[in-house]
Structure 1
């Protein structure tokens, strides 16, 4: 691998440290205290993202709910204030689609009240649709209406989604009020150094709400050769509008395949240098340039996935 300018190397080392990729966390509480949230629409990818940061178990005071960009995330219960903060922007972004589905504001309010009545236990979506129909809130199970009503209820702090894709009422949590500036500071702690434009893309907040954000100094870090095999929805790249420091634009189409989906990729000292995939006996790695030393990363990921660790270069 070619040497990188010192300022870029320093920035990427700081991001690797902020993301706990070069400084593993001890448990999920410590991890979310640093990275704030992990994208969670795909549970195996979520678990891999946590494992890349040193965390084997997701057990703890955590919640899986819709937050940044209206996307499922795993966050600490203490940080549920972010749902209230983002609710206006999420509901504004999804209003047209709700109206197309017949989910008027009045219908959604009735639907939320009905959900509180019928969610006496964790339920899968089809079971919820059946129970809602029984109390006079019919939804077309073949449409997106159930998903959008559940999203509306989640950002109204009524329910959450479990790791086995059921829905349950949200337990009472201490109410806290935090501001956009507070979220910006947490974002910088997790992704810094980064720009307000990066923050807008990560959070989904409109740019008009992001004026006069303060500078937030980041801890210095030195490149240490850390290698990580990251998955489909890892936050390391998803946290930025401009990913060119970590991902060369010429190689970006091999990683960014649309819809927020990332091809699993290898990061060395913060630079994306290859893609990877599982094989029957291990992993196949496709480098963008020269081969590099993966150290013990294949064995570490293999132990997590329960597969072999044989390595093939493509």
Structure 2
């Protein structure tokens, strides 16, 4: 199920004659392939963090542990140490390119993404500054201070950055410090470097990832559209606009600029877009079992999640609708449960809460999938069930 009839009438155009029609189950099968959760017929399986992030263009990573497992689940055999080392090699970096939300992006693409989509978040920041008692001049000065103290290859923790702002006479108490760090990154002065221990660190964008690519606006829109539909399709133009924060007009312009790389299809009668080579992918139902992090593109990459998630389970996945997503157990592309982890030095405890009836054989498959996560952490697992 994609957008409602009312939304379709308001937003979708009549599909051209000869448009390929897909059922919801076929679309879900293709979507799982796009998301690199099943083998792709034309794209080589990714072998590096850079491969995965380049495929997506941007991946939700506001929760670092979720972001790292989003990479790990798409790189079979990898470990947490492997992924962290790849980020230290700058195969990707974290910043706030879209909707004021932290994403992993290809290192050399950070600046044009910020200029294309991040600028919309900057434009809306005045109200937040007013609430925090900050002026634009103070925010600009904070960005200059951070630019100065990080110059020459510097890398400081979040605490050290805020302390430097305070030493320069800028009030960084409460949420002010976070906002000023966000503002400097949003302007393209800084980026988020890999953690040192458990602490977030910051570096200068142009020093951490030199040689930033430059794209004109149409090329940037086309690139973003191609990457989104390549990694999420088939889905709607409305989902693309929601994911990027672009206007409806820019979303449509990006799709058009991508040309023959993208194809329009109908999913249960609703117009959707996919990466053209995906038409060669299998469309049969697959009975695979996955244990995905909460903040994964599998759910967060869409405004309409009905293909993957029963409406009656929404509250279990997003308790209170507060934007905090639970980690999911996925069978055949559909959410069937949630899971949580509890880390200790010598063990990881993994607790599963079913949302549907799961027999003994299915539970064993889910436990095996969770063992893969424990292997990723290099910790022995203890799995329990909360029925």
TM-score > 0.5, shorter chain as reference? yes
Q: Give, in whole Å, the separation in 2 of the partners of 1:138 and 1:150.
A: 12
Q: For residues 267-302 of structure 1, give each alpha carbon's deviation from its aligned partner in whole angstroms, at most 9, with x where no partner exists.
A: 122111112234777533333222152533122122
**What's the secondary structure of 2:28's corresponding residue?**
helix
Structure 1: runs of 5+ lacking an equivalent? 1-5
Q: Give, in whole Å, the separation in 2 of the partners of 1:33 and 1:125.
A: 27
1:161 and 1:167 in contact (8 A); partners too:
yes
1:103 and 1:149 in contact (8 A); partners too:
no
2:57 and 2:224 in contact (8 A); partners too:
no
Report the CA distance shift for 1:150/1:284 in structure 2 as closer, same or farther (over 3 A): closer
1:116 and 1:158 in contact (8 A); partners too:
yes
Please tell me whether residue 123 in structure 1 is matched to residue 149 in structure 2. no
**Cα RMSD between the aligned structures?**
2.3
Q: 1:105 pairs with 129, 136, 143, which one?
A: 136
Q: 1:269 pairs with 287, 310, 332, which one?
A: 332
Q: Which residue of 2 aligns with 1:19?
A: 35
Q: 1:224 pairs with 266, 286, 302, which one?
A: 286
Q: 1:244 pairs with 288, 296, 306, which one?
A: 306
Please tell me whether residue 38 in structure 1 is matched to residue 105 in structure 2. no
Q: Which residue of 2 aligns with 1:3?
A: none
TM-score by length of 1: 0.88
Q: Which residue of 2 aligns with 1:173?
A: 211
| Bigger proportion of residues as helix | 2
Please tell me whether residue 298 in structure 1 is matched to residue 367 in structure 2. no
Q: Give, in whole Å, the separation in 1 of the partners of 2:100 and 2:302.
A: 16
Report the CA distance shift for 1:175/1:307 in structure 2 as closer, same or farther (over 3 A): same
Q: Give, in whole Å, the separation in 2 of the partners of 1:209 and 1:98.
A: 27
Q: For residues 133-177 of structure 1, give each alpha carbon's deviation from its aligned partner in whole angstroms, at most 9, with x where no partner exists.
A: 434x412x3222221121111121111112210111112223311
Q: For residues 56-111 of structure 1, give each alpha carbon's deviation from its aligned partner in whole angstroms, at most 9, with x where no partner exists.
A: 33314211111121111111113212111112211123221013334333322222
Q: 1:79 pairs with 82, 105, 109, which one?
A: 109
Q: Which residue of 1 aligns with 2:98?
A: 68
2:339 and 2:351 in contact (8 A); partners too:
yes
Report the CA distance shift for 1:173/1:99 in structure 2 as closer, same or farther (over 3 A): farther
Structure 1 residue 309, shift from structure 2 partner = 4.8
Q: Which residue of 2 aligns with 1:94?
A: 125
Please tell me whether residue 159 in structure 1 is matched to residue 221 in structure 2. no
Q: For residues 244-276 of structure 1, give each alpha carbon's deviation from its aligned partner in whole angstroms, at most 9, with x where no partner exists.
A: 111011111111223321111111221111122
Q: 2:72 pairs with 43, 51, 58, which one?
A: 51
**What's the secondary structure of 1:162's corresponding residue?**
strand
| Bigger proportion of residues as strand | 2
Q: Give, in whole Å, the separation in 2 of the partners of 1:221 and 1:83.
A: 36
TM-score by length of 2: 0.73
Report the CA distance shift for 1:92/1:221 in structure 2 as closer, same or farther (over 3 A): farther
Q: How many pairs are equivalent?
A: 307
Moved more, 107-116 or 190-199: 107-116
